[in-house]
Each structure stands twice: as structure tokens, then as C-alpha cells.
Chains A and B, each alone.
Chain A
Amino acid sequence: MYKVKVYVSLRESILDPQGNAVKNALHSMSYGEVQDVRIGKYMELMIEKTDRPLEETVKEMCEKLLANTVIEDYRFEAEEVVVQ
């Protein structure tokens, strides 16, 4: 079994109004050193081992459903876990 952590965030070139709102809140709390905030999504997928290469499968899932590549970037990391 694999535990795959998928991170989806707005592409760098896309303005992130949620992130901006949070940045402004942090500034008003006097954390003026915060230069930028980007907000994204975090998903955990538990995936069974199959014959298909895991990377390929997850990439496909991300591009078809989990991220909208017109406005979002994604990355993921996988670790093998033992299920009790």
C-alpha cells in the first residue's frame, strides 16, 4: 500500500485572492515580514499496489481530476506504508 500526498496550488502566475486576504490578516497582526501567502489543497490517497507504475497513475489522476492545469500546479510524494 502506498500513501500518496498530493499538493495542489494555484499557478505562480495566477493571483491568489484567498492567500492575499490571509497575508493582509497576518500583516494586521504585525507579522509584517510575511512577503506572500499561497493557499492550496492537500489530499491523501491510499493506493494499493498494482502492476502499473504508481507515478504514472497518480499523474493521470492529478491531470484528469485533482488539479485543473489551466490554473493549478500539482506535486505529490509517495511512501510505502504497511497497513495493519
Chain B
Amino acid sequence: MRFAVIVFPGSNCDVDMYHAIKDELGEEAEYVWHDENDLSEFDGILLPGGFSYGDYLRSGSIAHFSNVMAEVKKAAEQGKPVLGVCNGFQILLEAGLLPGAMKRNEGLKFKCEPASLKVVNAKTPFTSGYTENQVISVPIAHGEGNYFCDELTLKSLTENNQIVFTYSENPNGSLEDIAGIVNERGNVLGMMPHPERAVDSMLGSADGLALFQSIVKNWREAHVTTS
């Protein structure tokens, strides 16, 4: 499976993402600069964390007007898996690929620590390698991870089973302890915690690896036919 790791000016988790795919998962990965306008050769799209455009104005707000984002939207419409982590999640929100908005952490502190996450929905292409309600450890590192949406949106997120990860102990004030959500179709996941930083027990946790393995497994099942 071939992954694009989108690089914006200010992305700083792109190397971690690339390492996770290439070295730990053993799949193909390629860095794609933000002004590229063709993602057709890729099977999965990864928006890494960092501070795209310095987070000027609001996190993710400027990145969403990059050339490549039109292609990311196209890939999402085609049903390709799109994963946004941290700043990548913020970009997906600003781009309207996922509903809601991100506020500053409730305590105003930048939080950088391992977080316990509950897998609320293990039926997405990103989480099928986990079990429902499994608790995993994945690090967070953000100052604006306080997820917010209006009541109507929250209702539809809940009813459609779009809340994928919740925090066991809410670190940032997020509504309903939300740590990650998918779109209605289930092929776009945004999450604040960094699964790409939890792919080897040497890093403190390898719990994030199953997320990437799930993407590959589901893609293979859909695309590779055995004779």
C-alpha cells in the first residue's frame, strides 16, 4: 500500500509518520509537498502533526487553502483512507472534512504526555485491529486540542458512531472526552494523539501500530484479490 505523507511549511511530525509507515509497518511512503496537485497514485493520505504555516491565525486555517488540500478532498470523496493527526486533525476540521473546531486547551498548557485512550468504535478501517473499549496508550502533544462542536453535531456524531477515540482522563477539556472522530462514511479520521509516535515499545508504547495495520488490512481486503 502506498501512503502520501503531506508536508506543509511547519509540519514537524512528518518524519515520525514516514518512519512509522516505512520502517515499522513495512509499507511504501512518500513525502508530498503542500503545493502538489496530484495524489492519484496514492492509496492512503496522511496529514502529520506540527505547526502548518506557524499556526498563524488559527491552527490549520491557512493549510486548508493549500493546493494539495483539493486533492485530499478528492481522495476522501473517492473513499481512500485519510488520517489527520494533531495539526493534521486541525486541518481536516478547518477544511470541513470533519465537523467541529479546536479550541485552546482548557488549562492553557501545552500537554505533552502519554494518554490513555478508549477505542469507542472498533469498526472503522482505522481501528478494526483493536477491540471495542480497548484501552491503549498513545502520546499527546498539543496546545489546541480542546474539541468543540454544537449540540446538533454532537448528536449526529454519537448516533452515527463517529466518535472513535475518547480520553480516559480528559487532558484538554474536549467535549465528551473526544480524542478522535471519523466522517460519516468512516474513511476520514482525525485524532489529536500521535499513533505514529507509539509504534515501537522502545518508544514507550507500540499501541499505535495496530491503527496503521488496520488501514493496510482493510485496504488489502478491498483491493487485492486472490486467485
Contacts and interface: CB of A to CB of B under 8 A. Distances in A.
B94 A68 contact: yes
Contact of A14 (B57, B103, B105): B103
Interface residues of A, number: 12
Contacts, number: 33
A71 B173 CA distance: 15
B149 A70 contact: yes
Contacts of A10: 103
Given A14-B103, A18-B108, A21-B108, A68 B150 contact: no
Interface residues of B, number: 18
B148 A18 contact: no
A66 interface: yes
Contacts of B148: 14, 70-71
Contacts of B204: none
A65 interface: yes
A11 to B, nearest CB: 10
A14 B65 CA distance: 26
Most buried by B among A10, A17, A18, A21: A17
Contacts of B107: 17
Given A15-B173, A21-B108, A71-B103, 20 more contacts: A10-B103, A14-B148, A17-B103, A17-B104, A17-B106, A17-B107, A17-B108, A17-B173, A18-B104, A18-B108, A65-B57, A65-B62, A65-B65, A66-B57, A68-B94, A68-B101, A70-B100, A70-B101, A71-B101, A71-B148
Interface of B: 57-58, 61-62, 65, 94, 100-101, 103-108, 148-150, 173
- List 9 tightest A-B contacts by C-beta distance, closest first: A70-B101, A71-B101, A68-B101, A17-B108, A17-B106, A68-B58, A71-B148, A17-B104, A21-B108
